[in-house]
Amino acid sequence: MIAVENVSGMRIAMISARALPMMGGVETHVHEVTRRMSSAGAEVTVLTTDTTSELPSEETTSGYRVRRWPAYPRSRDYYLSPGLIRHLSRSSGDYDVAHVQGVHTLIAPTALTAARGAGLPTLLTFHTGGNSSGVRESLRSVQWKLISRHLRGASALIAVCEYERRTFSKILGIPESDIRVIRNGCDPLPVDPTAEVADGDPLVVSVGRLERYKGHHRVLRAMPELLSRRPGAHLVLVGSGPYEDSLRAMSAELGVSDKVTIRSFGPDERGHLGKLMSSADVMCLLSEYEAHPIAVMEAVAAGTKALVADTSGLTELVHAGLVSSIGLEAPPAAVAETIEAVSDFDPVVRPDIPSWDDCTNNLLRAYREVVA
């Protein structure tokens, strides 16, 4: 039963550059909180984009409405959507509050400006992430400074971790107390008992979009050493993306192709993912940058032990006692040794993890404040 505070009659514009069926952390966050708000009586419309020209321009799913507009340029992740912005600028009276999710594309500054121009109270959740391009990654802080005037104009600013709060406090030149922290929630994944799962002793899972910065290659390079210690080990790389061919080539070069599986799960395969995650001995995320990764929280909620890189928002999960960690520059042998140690570790207490209900209620309180 959903334990979300009643918000009957509140009209919410939830603005995100991407939404389901696109997969990712922000997309999952938007879906989980939006369906709960709708169940609690709110009238929620997700305003998003479609760079494929294959998705319906309007539909209703899980109790909330989704509207999509084309975005340009289609082959880049810094796109903008003139149609979405025109809709927002003319939306006076249609919504009570506008919440912009994510700061990486041009959707964020343009949507904030358009919503404020329409007289809407606005909120922004940063949802920062990494990038496989060193140039793009180095320009991120410059990009955020260039749009800082638009960001500071939001009625409320929300970080998903303390690392984000510290980062944007410096970039925007505002006190940390002006940015509230509302972490992603997590509920146990559904488990399909009929789903087939690879055998492994240990069974190691590395989850995330197949991009270099996500660190799948760090786990993969540790496989020869891990197999020398534990011949029954098997690695499943979960995700899709442009780095897949490189990972397959690396697997062949290392001579471990028969011990590595690469696959992805769609929105309708959550039960299959849940079966894999609950069966795994170790879930790895050796990413160069994460704020508050939902995949790690889902693994921990499933009772699976997790190993992360000691960096960015991942470090906070280490300090909270939720996961184990290793340095980004650790050699493959050290990674293999740590994976083996984590797989053999038997935690005494299962950690307490915030739920999506908790996250949704915290957001609704923020909405009420800015509307008031």
Cα 103 to Cα 81: distance, rounded to the nearest angstrom: 14
Least confident range from 162-166, 343-347, 351-355: namely: 351-355
Q: Residue 140 has what pLDDT?
A: 62
Say whether pLDDT at 155 is over 80.
yes
Say whether pLDDT at 1 is over 50.
no
Cα 190 to Cα 275: distance, rounded to the nearest angstrom: 8
Say whether pLDDT at 132 is over 80.
no
Q: Convert the pLDDT of each residue in 156-187 to its tens digit.
A: 999 999 999 999 999 999 999 999 999 999 88
Strand partners, 215: none
| Res. 3 pLDDT band, cuts 50 70 90 | confident
* CATH tag for 11-185+355-371 (out of 3.40.120.10, 3.40.50.2000, 3.40.50.720, 3.40.1380.20): 3.40.50.2000
Q: What share of the chain is helix, strand, coil (3-state, %, to 5)?
A: 40, 20, 40
Reported pTM: 0.89
DSSP letter, residue 257: G
SS3 readout for 267-282: HHHHHHHHHHHHHCCE
* CATH tag for 203-344 (out of 3.30.460.10, 3.40.50.410, 3.40.50.2000, 3.30.465.10): 3.40.50.2000
Sequence spans of domains, the chain: 11-185+355-371, 203-344
Q: What is the mean pLDDT of residues 43-47?
A: 98
Side-chain half-sphere of 73: how many Cα atoms within 13 Å? 3
- Tell me which H or E stretch contains 146: helix 134-146
- Cis before 21? omega within 30: yes
Q: Convert the pLDDT of each residue in 289-341 to its tens digit.
A: 999 999 999 999 888 999 999 999 999 999 988 999 999 999 999 999 999 99
Q: Residue 80 has what pLDDT?
A: 87
Pairwise pLDDT comparison (294 vs 141), residue with the higher score: 294
Cα 275 to Cα 221: distance, rounded to the nearest angstrom: 25
Kindly give the pairing relationship between strand 11-16 and strand 43-50: parallel
Q: Convert the pLDDT of each residue in 53-111 to its tens digit.
A: 899 999 999 999 999 999 988 656 668 899 999 999 999 899 999 999 999 888 999 99
SS3 readout for 338-355: HHHHHHHCCCCCCCCCCC
* Beta-carbon contacts of residue 137 (< 8 Å; ≥ 6 apart): 130, 131, 213, 289
